[in-house]
Amino acid sequence: MTSYNGEKYIAEQIESLLSQTEQRFKVIVSDDGSTDSTWDILTGYTEKYPEKFFIFKNNPPHGAKYNFLNLMICYKDDYLMLCDQDDVWLDNKIENELNAMLELEANFGRNMPLLVHTDLRVVDSELNSIYDSFKEMMNANYARVSLKDQIIQNTLTGCTAMYNRALANMITAQPNFCVMHDWWLMLTAAAFGRIFPLYERDILYRQHHDNEIGAKHVRSVSYMLNRLFFDPSGISKALNETYLQAKSFVEMYSENLTDEQKKFLLDYTRIPEYGKLKRISESYRLGVKKNGFFRQIAQLLFV
């Protein structure tokens, strides 16, 4: 878990962990220099549950994605989960994902990097329902699990994931660039292992004004028109970041990638070097396209 000025919600999240039907876990919390009472709340839990809670404070702060990445690099175990400070986990979340992971390891072996993840229920700051399925709200396609799918569009919300030691051992250093920690994890799983969506909705995904990244109703025409006409630079920036991330991925894992994977990634990173028509043709030649009609239109316009 990472924390930063989370005094409003972090105790409720921790209590949802303590209510889990599976209790064989430890909680490692990396606080990013909170200036409110978050640290005092965390200290209270370490005093009450010294065998379960372990906390430390970053100095200087890392920022959200690098705070998580640092944890992912430094802490390894047989099974790991990423936990945000402001959600609520339903009481069977850990048990269900662990059972799925154990079944997958029985089939594929413990040396296969594996990642399972679920859907979420979107709620407001008081946990009132906004949308029953984050997947539906975001028009996400969890079946898109190949490297070609993930290089252009992340389908993982980090707090829904469980991954095994074989995948954890692939996360060894900070990349030169990544968009988000969970996207980097998903790329690694897509390149070197297997990804299995479970589709259960086992997190109350709280939306509030302090969210680092939140849910957006991307199926709505108004959302897409607003993006196309009022935030074209944001769309271009998001696409350009995928090229930078792909370049970092090749640099990080050059010795582990197959020749085919390496060629695909290098070809993808070169797309910005071409003129408009070649950028479009290269994107389609490589088979990289976003999910959904509106996203594909935006990709066509701003590639």
| pLDDT the model gives residue 293 | 85
Q: Are residues 140 and 288 in the same domain?
A: no
Residue 215 domain flag: no
Q: How many domains does the chain have?
A: 2
pLDDT band at residue 58 under the 50/70/90 scheme: very high
Distance CA 132, CA 136 (A): 8
Q: Are residues 153 and 267 in the same domain?
A: no
| pLDDT the model gives residue 225 | 57
Q: Is the CB of residue 16 less than 8 Å from the CB of residue 42?
A: no
Residue 211 domain flag: no
Provide the token pair at 213. Answer: 């990244």
Residue 56 domain flag: yes
Q: Are residues 250 and 202 in the same domain?
A: no
Nearest one of 181, 206, 154 to 67, comparing CA atoms: 181
- Read off the pLDDT of residues 265-279 as tens digits, 9 standing for 90 and up: 999 999 999 999 999
Provide the token pair at 168. Answer: 């954890």
Domain that holds residue 191: 2-206
Distance CA 101, CA 276 (A): 44
Provide the token pair at 184. Answer: 């980097």
At which of 175, 206, 237 does a domain end? 206
Residue 247 domain flag: yes
- The yes-or-no verdict on residue 149 having pLDDT over 80 is yes
Distance CA 216, CA 4 (A): 23
CA angle 177, 182, 186 (to 5 degrees): 95
| pLDDT the model gives residue 217 | 52
Mean pLDDT computed over 152-180 = 97
Q: Which residue has the higher pLDDT, 31 or 220?
A: 31
At which of 172, 206, 240 does a domain end? 206
Q: Are residues 114 and 256 in the same domain?
A: no
- The yes-or-no verdict on residue 170 having pLDDT over 70 is yes
Distance CA 186, CA 166 (A): 14
Residue 10 domain flag: yes
Question: Which residues, 6+ apart, have CB-to-CB distance to 191 below 8 Å?
Answer: 147, 249, 253, 256, 257, 261
- Read off the pLDDT of residues 80-121 as tens digits, 9 standing for 90 and up: 999 999 999 999 999 999 999 999 999 999 999 999 999 999
Q: Are residues 201 and 259 in the same domain?
A: no
86 bridge partner residues: none
Mean pLDDT computed over 52-66 = 94
Mean pLDDT computed over 66-71 = 96
Q: Are residues 155 and 284 in the same domain?
A: no
| pLDDT the model gives residue 110 | 98
Residue 258 domain flag: yes
Q: Are residues 130 and 176 in the same domain?
A: yes
Question: Rounded to whole angstroms, what are the CA distances from 249 to 161, 209, 243, 287?
Answer: 20, 32, 10, 18
Average model confidence (pLDDT) across the chain: 94
| pLDDT the model gives residue 232 | 76
Q: Are residues 34 and 90 in the same domain?
A: yes
pLDDT band at residue 231 under the 50/70/90 scheme: confident
If residue 79 lies in a helix (H) or strand (E), which one and from where to where? strand 79-81
DSSP output for 80-111: EE---SS-EE-TTHHHHHHHHHHHHHHHH-TT
pLDDT band at residue 294 under the 50/70/90 scheme: confident
| pLDDT the model gives residue 213 | 55
Q: Are residues 113 and 196 in the same domain?
A: yes
Residue 46 domain flag: yes
At which of 206, 235, 252 does a domain end? 206
Q: Are residues 257 and 147 in the same domain?
A: no
| pLDDT the model gives residue 220 | 55
Q: Are residues 261 and 161 in the same domain?
A: no
Q: Are residues 94 and 161 in the same domain?
A: yes
Task: Give the CATH number, domain containing residue 49.
Answer: 3.90.550.10
Residue 139 domain flag: yes
| pLDDT the model gives residue 234 | 86
Nearest one of 285, 293, 252 to 148, comparing CA atoms: 285
pLDDT band at residue 227 under the 50/70/90 scheme: low
